[in-house]
């Protein structure tokens, strides 16, 4: 059974069809990549899946529930989390506070209990802090918990962003260009890290990535978009040998 299924989702912006009848099916535990040249529609696809845009046509099933058009925070609550192409941390907050804030989504205490720090809130807060440190340990950032997010090297900021996404207890994690701007060492580390969190947190991962080495190394399957159209789907080996893909993408602009 697929964890995520998009049935011919289409997104039109005026006269432009950014994504045309995209049908993805992602099984539990898979790591699946969506690739394609700039402007192919990858981020638009993510935005439809995570509720930022409502598809013009088609529908999206997550865990066998129709989530088409649900607001992003409700989709997050159903077990989907994402990171963005441009890092979106609270740069002036500490590493631990960046995760603490994400955890608040799960708070059951009301505003009154929180304002006066009543016992119900304090108990919950303690549990959240434990979880924050558990996550920081897992991603190797525990020693840097008090540092300002903006003071971390780029690769670690990306890790922190992923840890923050994990704080919402996702089953499906969407990563939008996780290797963007990373040096070769950081990229290698990231590939290992993505596999590690998939295993440790029992995740399914969908990623957009331009870095071909990362894509080929990490993905179970790959979908290729070009001008909004799905031109190929297959294993890394199949994709690397697909003539249409080579023409549309791999032959050009490999490291864009
Ligand atoms: N909100 C919007 N309004 C109008 N056009 C948009 C909007 N968002 C995206 N587009 C257009 O839709 C097409 C697909 O864009 P999208 O950002 O999804 O591509 P992408 O594959 O993610 O590209 P990149 O690799 O550069 O991030 C582009 O032509 C883009 O200009």
| Residue range 29-59, pLDDT digits in tens | 999 999 999 999 999 999 999 999 999 999 9
Model pLDDT for residues 165-200, shown as the tens digit of each residue: 998 899 999 999 999 888 888 899 999 999 999 999
Ligand 1, residue 36: give the atom nearest the CA: 21
**Phi and psi for 103 in degrees, rounded to 5?**
-65, -25
Give the pLDDT score at 57: 97
Residues 6+ positions from 52 with CB-CB distance below 8 Å: 46, 72
Give the pLDDT score at 104: 67
Give the pLDDT score at 121: 66
Q: For the whole model, what pTM was predicted?
A: 0.88
* Residue from 11, 15, 17, 18 to probe ligand 1 pocket by mutation (most atoms less than 8 Å from CB): 18
Model confidence at 90, pLDDT cuts 50, 70, 90, reads: confident
Q: Is the CB of 232 under 6 A from ligand 1?
A: no
CB count, 10 Å around CB of 146? 9
Ligand 1, residue 11: give the atom nearest the CA: 12
SS3 sequence of the chain:
CEEEEEEEEEEEECCEEEEEEECCEEECCCEEEEECCCCCCHHHHHHHHCCCCCCCEEEEEECCEECCCCCHHHHHHCCEEECCCCCCCCCCCEHHHHHHHHHHHHCCCCHHHHHCCCHHHHHHHHHHHHHHHHHHHHHCCHHHCCCEHHHCCHHHHHHHHHHHHHCCCCCEEEEECCCCCCCHHHHHHHHHHHHHHHHHCCCEEEEECCCHHHHHHHCCEEEEEECCEEEEEECHHHHHCCHHHHHHHHCCCCCC
CATH of 1-79+170-256, one of 3.40.50.300, 3.90.850.10, 3.40.30.10, 2.90.10.10: 3.40.50.300
Give the pLDDT score at 256: 45
Average per-residue pLDDT in the chain?
Answer: 90
Q: Is the CB of 42 under 6 A from ligand 1?
A: yes
For residue 252, pLDDT over 80 is answered with: no
- pLDDT, average across residues 149-163: 91
Q: Is the CB of 13 under 6 A from ligand 1?
A: yes
Q: Is the CB of 41 under 6 A from ligand 1?
A: yes
For residue 251, pLDDT over 60 is answered with: no
Select from 173, 202, 195 the least CA-distant residue to 80.
173
Which residue owns the Cα nearest ligand 1 atom 28? 39
Which residue owns the Cα nearest ligand 1 atom 18? 41
Q: Is the CB of 20 under 6 A from ligand 1?
A: no
Predicted complex ipTM: 0.96
Domain(s) labelled CATH 3.40.50.300 in the chain stretch across: 1-79+170-256
Which residue owns the Cα nearest ligand 1 atom 9? 44
């Amino acid at each position: 059974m697929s964890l995520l299924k998009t049935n011919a989702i289409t997104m039109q912006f005026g006269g432009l069809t950014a994504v045309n009848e995209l049908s993805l099916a992602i099984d539990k535990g898979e790591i699946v990549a969506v690739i394609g040249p700039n402007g192919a529609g990858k981020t638009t696809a993510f935005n439809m899946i995570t509720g930022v845009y409502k598809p013009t046509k088609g529908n999206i099933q997550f865990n066998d529930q129709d989530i088409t058009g649900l607001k992003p925070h409700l989709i997050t609550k159903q077990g989907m989390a994402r990171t963005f192409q441009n890092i979106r941390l609270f740069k002036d907050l500490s590493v631990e506070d960046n995760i603490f804030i994400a955890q608040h989504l799960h708070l059951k205490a009301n505003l009154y209990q929180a304002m006066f720090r009543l016992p119900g809130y304090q108990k919950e807060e303690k549990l959240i802090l434990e979880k924050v440190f558990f996550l920081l340990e897992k991603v190797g950032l525990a020693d840097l918990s008090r540092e300002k997010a903006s003071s971390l090297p780029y690769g670690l900021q990306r890790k922190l962003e992923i840890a923050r996404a994990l704080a919402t207890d996702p089953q499906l994690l969407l990563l939008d260009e996780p290797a963007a701007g990373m040096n070769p060492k950081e990229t290698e580390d990231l590939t290992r890290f993505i596999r590690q969190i998939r295993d440790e947190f029992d995740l399914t991962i969908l990623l957009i990535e331009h870095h071909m080495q990362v894509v080929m190394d990490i993905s179970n399957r790959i979908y290729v978009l070009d001008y909004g159209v799905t031109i190929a789907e297959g294993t890394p080996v199949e994709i690397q040998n697909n003539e249409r893909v080579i023409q549309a993408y791999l032959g050009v602009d490999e490291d864009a």
